[in-house]
Amino acid sequence: MKNIKNYLFAALSFLIAASTTAQKQTPPPGGTPKNFKLPAKTIKKLPNGLQTTMVQFGNVPKVTINLIIKAGNAQEAQNQVWLADLMGKMMNQGTKTMDFKTLAKKVAGMGGEVNISVGPDETTISSSVLSEFAPDLIKVIADLVMNPAFPASELDRIKNDLKRNLSVEQSVPQNQAIAKFYKVIYKDQSYGSFFPTEEMLNSYTLEMVKDFYNKNLGAKRSVLYVAGKLIPLL
C-alpha cells in the first residue's frame, strides 16, 4: 500500500510540474496569412437571354455545373403550395429522349449525378463531373430543362412521397415554429404558405405541373454557372 501511495504521489507531482512548465511556454507565432484572390469570371449572355458564368478554378479535373432558374415556391398560388416541388421532382424523371434510368446511367458514366432542388425563389439543376464530360453534362441539363418528359406514370408515386415528407416535416417543432413565423410576417403572400394540406397535394394534376413549368421556367430567368478545371471547354 505504501509503495502504491508513493507511485501515485510521484505521478501527481510529475503532472503538476508538466502543467506548470506548459503554462510558461510561449506558443509558436502564427503563420503569415495568405492573400485571398477570387478567380476571374467569364460572363456571357446568349441571344435567348440565358446568362453564363465560367470560373477557372483548382487543379483537380472536375467541373461543377449549376443551372439556376429564378422561379420557385414564390410563384405558387395560395392553393398551389409545393406545386413547384412536385414540378422539380417530375422534371428529374427524364426527358423526351431519355428516361430516368438512361439519364442516370449516362451521367454516372461521367462521374456524377444530376440533382434538382426547388427553393422559395429558384430552381437549381446541378451536378459535378470529370472535366472532359462538362460539355456533355451541359447538354443533358439543357435537355432536362427544355424537354422534360413529365411521365404520368410517376405522378402518384411522387405525390405520395411528398405527403410522407409533409407528415415528417410537420412533426418537427422547429418547422412548426417557422411556419407560424412566416404566416405572421408574410400573411397571405406566397412566402407565408410554408406547408400545403394533404388535400392540396391530392388535387395536383399533370396539367397543373406542366402549366406551372410553362409559365415560370425560361432562358431569360436562368443563369448557368460552370466552375472548376475548364481546359476542355476553352
Q: How confident is the model at residue 2 (pLDDT cuts 50, 70, 90)?
A: very low
Buried b (16+ CB within 10 A) or exposed e, 152-188: eebbeebbeebeeebeeeeeeeeeeeebeebbeeeee
Give the integer Cα–Cα distance in Å for 176 and 170. Answer: 6
CB 66 within 8 A of CB 128: no
CB 127 within 8 A of CB 107: yes
Cell of 95: 426527358
Q: What is the pLDDT of residue 171?
A: 95
Mean pLDDT value across the chain? 89
What confidence tens digit (pLDDT) does each residue in 168-226 have? Answer: 999 999 999 999 999 999 998 889 999 999 999 999 999 999 999 999 999 999 999 99
What confidence tens digit (pLDDT) does each residue in 80-109 have? Answer: 999 999 999 999 999 999 999 999 999 999
Per cent of the chain over pLDDT 70 is 88
* Superfamily of chain region 41-233: Metalloenzyme, LuxS/M16 peptidase-like (3.30.830.10)
- Local structure of 110: helix, strand or coil: coil
pLDDT > 90? residue 65: yes
Work out whether strand 123-130 and strand 62-69 pair parallel, antiparallel, or are unpaired.
antiparallel
Q: How confident is the model at residue 72 (pLDDT cuts 50, 70, 90)?
A: very high
Q: Where are the domains of the chain?
A: 41-233
Average pLDDT on 66-76 reads 96
* Nearest alpha-carbon partner for 67 in 132, 114, 133, 113: 114
